[in-house]
């Protein structure tokens, strides 16, 4: 099976490419979203690190692809149809998508013989949209699902090939959760590819209904005193690596801006809803105290 991988460089895509390289498939290409300043379709040259750099540089998607001899392209939204012409000559059987920033045109979706297989870390049809792990944490979920589904022209909508639930590693950064989601998807790939290669196998249509969550806005980084303290800690500590400050609203409507969550103490109470120290802030939540680092002026402005 000839596969092309569409992926944003990041922790979820890396274990997926690693797994593909272990399977009896041919990875014919890796497609990245083009950064600003590049043409709408660019064939990327392999990196040429020194021996010392090869030893000390952590594995990432581009390095792994270059070492495996996989050609890479950077494509912008306006270059998707030109990319289709490039791929048409390669007789691609399947396109695998792991994080992609915009809709894929219908002409490109129809190109691979077995379609486009999307990797989406939510229990579709619930939580369609670009950042499902963020929303799972904000809603207080402690587990979610990885869904592998065939793509159609609607967003996160096509029939389901495989879906498996997994526990979120509470207290870890979001990048660690994305890496775990990628490992879960990688474990699911052999069975999913076998299904797609079976002539009489059919994927299951997604149930009706579902939900959609957009890209997070600044207001989505607000939490209030009626939250459970563990929920607040898990959410803030996970997402803090994005660098977006969080606003806490106390019971008396005082507000304070924080940068990160340090730890929490369940079943404890303090005399004031917000207690500020030299290098940390204690916030009173419904069932305990959250210890946090204050946001710098540059973050909160």
Exposure class string for 168-205: b at 16+ Cβ within 10 A, else e: bebeebbeebbbbbbbbbbebbeebbeebeeeeeebee
Domain count along the chain: 2
Q: Is residue 67 part of a domain?
A: yes
- Domain membership of residue 284 (yes or no) is yes
DSSP state of 220: G
Task: Give domain status of residue 253, yes or no.
Answer: yes
| Residue pLDDT tens, the chain, 301 long | 999 999 988 899 999 999 999 999 999 999 999 888 777 888 888 866 554 444 444 568 888 999 999 999 999 988 888 888 888 888 899 999 998 988 898 989 999 999 999 999 999 999 999 999 999 999 999 999 999 999 999 999 999 999 999 999 999 999 999 999 999 999 999 999 999 999 899 999 999 999 999 999 999 999 999 999 999 999 999 999 999 999 999 999 999 999 999 999 999 999 999 999 889 999 999 999 999 999 985 455 4
Separation between Cα atoms, residue 5 and residue 129, nearest integer Å: 20
What CATH code is carried by the domain that includes residue 188? Answer: 3.40.50.170
Q: Which domain holds residue 285?
A: 218-300
152 domain residue, yes or no: yes
Same domain, 163 and 16: yes
Write down the pTM of the prediction: 0.92
Same domain, 229 and 290: yes
Is 190 a member of any domain?
yes
């Amino acid at each position: 099976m000839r596969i092309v991988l569409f992926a944003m460089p990041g922790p979820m895509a890396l274990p997926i490419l690693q797994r593909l390289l272990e399977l009896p498939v041919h990875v014919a290409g890796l497609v990245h979203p083009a950064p600003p300043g590049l043409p709408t379709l660019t064939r990327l040259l392999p990196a040429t690190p020194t021996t010392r750099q090869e030893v000390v540089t952590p594995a990432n998607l581009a390095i792994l692809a270059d070492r495996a001899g996989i050609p890479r392209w950077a494509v912008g939204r306006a270059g998707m149809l030109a990319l289709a012409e490039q791929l048409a000559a390669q007789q691609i059987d399947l396109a695998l998508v792991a994080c992609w920033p915009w809709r894929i045109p219908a002409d490109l979706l129809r190109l691979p013989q077995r379609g486009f297989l999307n990797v989406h870390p939510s229990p579709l049809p619930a939580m369609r949209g670009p950042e499902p792990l963020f929303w799972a944490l904000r809603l207080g979920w402690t587990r979610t699902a990885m869904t592998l589904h065939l793509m159609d022209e609607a967003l996160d909508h096509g029939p389901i090939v495989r879906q498996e639930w997994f526990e979120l590693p509470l207290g870890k950064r979001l990048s660690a959760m994305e890496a775990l989601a990628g490992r879960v998807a990688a474990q699911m790939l052999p069975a999913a590819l076998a299904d797609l290669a079976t002539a009489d196998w059919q994927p299951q249509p997604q149930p009706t209904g579902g939900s959609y969550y957009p890209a997070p806005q600044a207001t989505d980084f607000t939490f209030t005193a009626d939250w459970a303290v563990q929920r607040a800690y898990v959410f803030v500590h996970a997402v803090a690596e994005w660098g977006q400050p969080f606003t806490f609203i106390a019971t008396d409507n005082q507000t304070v801006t924080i940068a990160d969550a340090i730890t929490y103490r369940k079943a404890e109470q303090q005399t004031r809803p917000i207690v500020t120290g030299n290098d940390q802030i204690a916030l009173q939540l419904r069932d305990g105290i959250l210890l946090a680092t204050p946001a710098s002026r540059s973050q909160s402005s």
